[in-house]
Structure 1
Amino acid sequence: MELKKSWRSWCKPHNLFIKISTCRLPNFPIQILLLGLCHFLVPASCSRKPPPLPILPLPTAFQLQWQLSDMALFFHFGTNTFTDSEWGSGHAHPSVFNPTKLNASQWIRVAKDSGFSTVILTAKHHDGFCLWPSDYTDYSVRSSNWKNGNGDIVAELSAAAKDAGIGLGIYLSPWDRHETCYGDTLRYNEFYLAQMTELLTRYGEITDVFLDGAKGEEEKDMEYLFASWNSLIHQLQPGASIFSDVGPDTRWVGDEYGVAGFTCWSLYNKTGFEIGDVDLQYNSEGDPFGPDWIPVTCDVSIRPGWFWHASEVPMSARSLLEIYYKSVGRNCKLLLNVPPNSSGLISDEDIQVLQEFTELRRSIFSHNLAKNAVINASSIRGGIQDTHFSPFNVLKEGIYTYWAPEENQSKWILYVNLQELVSFNVLQLQEPIHMGQRVIEFHLEALTQDGVWTRVINGTTIGYKRLLLFPKLKSQYLKLVVDKSRADPLISYLGIYMDSVTVLRDTPDKKSRACFNGTQALQTSTHNIATDTEVFTIVCFDRVARLLFGCSADEFFDFAKLHPFSGITLNEIMEGEMFSMTLSKSTNANAQHVRVASAVPLSSSFQPAINLLKQCYQTPHAS
């Protein structure tokens, strides 16, 4: 009691640690108090210290605005919707397109109710059919039976989006299987830019332009003049963000399943890459030394296909939540495709999933359990007198206020007193990305009830938003430690949450554990595929199948030691974790392995994947 009284009597006149002094000091680590006091006793300058210098590269104004909204909705709609196709041939008659109940306002209402601030429409997909009455082709809604050829879906969606305050983006496929001049560089680029001009000048503000790099292998050679396209887009719509495999404003994650790398930089080096020819792993992870700021779009469809098919059903809300953790929660924007059906409406079952997904996010993230915490830091830029960089800034919503440490420090730590024992399993962090992306590695520690600091989770990049899920724990005192940073780290937000929905599996036994892009998985079965020259062994894990060359299942148990990612700290995998293989050989020791470079979903039983691999590799007369 005397100790508590003496601390209070000293702190009160100095306006220091008022809230901390009310806690039970025997349970509060004395080193935290002493560290804070040593810092705050340093004399302060009378003038305010300016903000730290930004570290290049930095986002443009519209890149920043683009990333401040977590999610966008994608609408794949066209003749494919009516022909049960994904890549239409370009020969379907326009009369097949007849969405008799089309209601663009319903599409926008679904987007807004589900928390999506932008929608993107496939104004023209690979089949070349245009959802607006283009003056440069007869293959459009003008030639359809819908509204007797007088309809314009882009116009209807634009009007509905404007009324609801939702941004409108346009997808205009470079690959056109209908247009006869495709393959003629000059003529087709003129044609494409003419159609792009129509879309960017007729329908008001366009927030996003999506340039898809997909193209069939047997199609005509075609040189796209991307530099001219980008210049025209920014000229006609200065605030539009251009997506392609390599930017210039936002890049593709490298898969179509909404999952980014565990490490994900907005920094990127686009030199040497072009649309349709990128390093998938590099796109997924980015580059801490990259000179270009090109953040990531994670695109995924709520259904197995991109277009609506009567035989398909949407994924579950829990699956969407896991994708959210691995896209938005990894410094990316989630672009979720919800395809309208052949009536021209978003299907009821898709709406139900979106409603459940929205409620899951609300139940987890609507209340920051650290909202009333007492926050202190190893140092504060300008000292305690300058609240501009106070550690308490990390409890404010948004990225424009932040904690900044003093310069030339050897450690960067935030101390969090939750003021009571709290159960939680999610950490959210944000950086003020207008000042550059900085943090390379960090970790979270919690003080156990027996007074021992325990490491809870390790992380790499933060960026606009980082979400880390870990086994539930209960603690009052936390430490966020930045271990490595490109410059003095700046933290704009710290959130602690409880996710009671997502299930984490127990840590697998080391003998049956493998590391996949920073995540571990548990072996379930093995399968052999014989060819003329060798036997392929497929080792199936609870969340991934991996094809091994010249390596038995027993040898695979030690694979994590040889794996290029083995140096990355493993993280618990979530129920429903989704991965697949990118066939990229790398020689380690005496075995060649297929390395996972991107994450995509596979059947939980893996049988479809195994059958596909057999079709690809099994020779007809192999035993």
Structure 2
Amino acid sequence: MFFTQKGQTLYGICPKYPKGNLTVKNVKLKSDAKVTLLGYEGPLKWEQNGKDIIVNVPSLTASEVPCDYAWTFKIDGVKKIMVGFSKNITSKLRIVLLLCLPLFACKDMVAPKGKENPDAVTQQRLPESKLREWQALKYGMFIHFGMSTFLGEELPDGQAPLDTYAPTNLDVSQWVRVAKEAGMTYAVLTAKHVAGHCLWPSDYTDYDVSGNKTAVDVVGEFVKECRKQGIRPGLYYCAWDNHHTFGSLMPGKSENYNGAMVTPTEMEPEKGAPYTSHLYQNFMTAQIDELLERYSPLVEFWIDIPIILGDGYRQFIYDRISKKISRYAYRHEPWKEKGRKGILSF
């Protein structure tokens, strides 16, 4: 279990749903303290047992559990953290860094002919001051919502009919509220994932929310709610797109990136290596410009699976994003707070 703390509130994050009672050692709570499981209605029963607290975790079926991968317990009313508790605390930064560090690092790889390069040199793109600013955000949420939600597939083939995306009772404000109640400072939304379906009305494709019965601009609502509730918004854009290929060879469902990290030769051509065409790269550039121009300022812009873009285009798009983020950083005056820029570029 990983813990974070904000004032008199503790957040405990469980990678596996606990069975039976949950014991948190070396913590003393106030008599009116409240323990809740985020996503589950009502407070949980708890008792102080010496230096420890014992929480009665509800027995839930798979369909009732409020999350598939991690569960957050919120403990309001901490009276005292005793010696020894630090042993079972994992830093907020460690959790976030494991998830998000690839956003800001770029690998410049030089490979032997036809062979993998396990000793690829990593060149840090951000100065230390920017990394520290990003680290100061500490605890954030990544929201994966889109075509995969309705297909039940992480890596769809991009051929699902547009009306497969069919949300009912869509409540973006609830997503952001959960992030805020959990003590998070920022949230990142998948604007476009592998299926290619866009959660905003794009000028460059009809495979977007504008063609759905629920034609809500999810990206727009997400950004609006984040600012309204004091959460910094970020966006995720997947380079792997099985719907808009424009002559590209995208990775298969096996996530086999064969050839992407080697230098092929005429004698040993690397067969089946994924790549993106210049037409797809033009499409991707136009969509990223669109997202930045409509929804900035953003705290992060996450490009996933950049390995299929090639070093040249990857350098180009990173530089372009950095310049555009800087251009829009000061447009929204409410975004400034306590002298912070509120923007991280990479």
The higher radius of gyration belongs to: 1
TM-score by length of 1: 0.28
TM-score by length of 2: 0.49
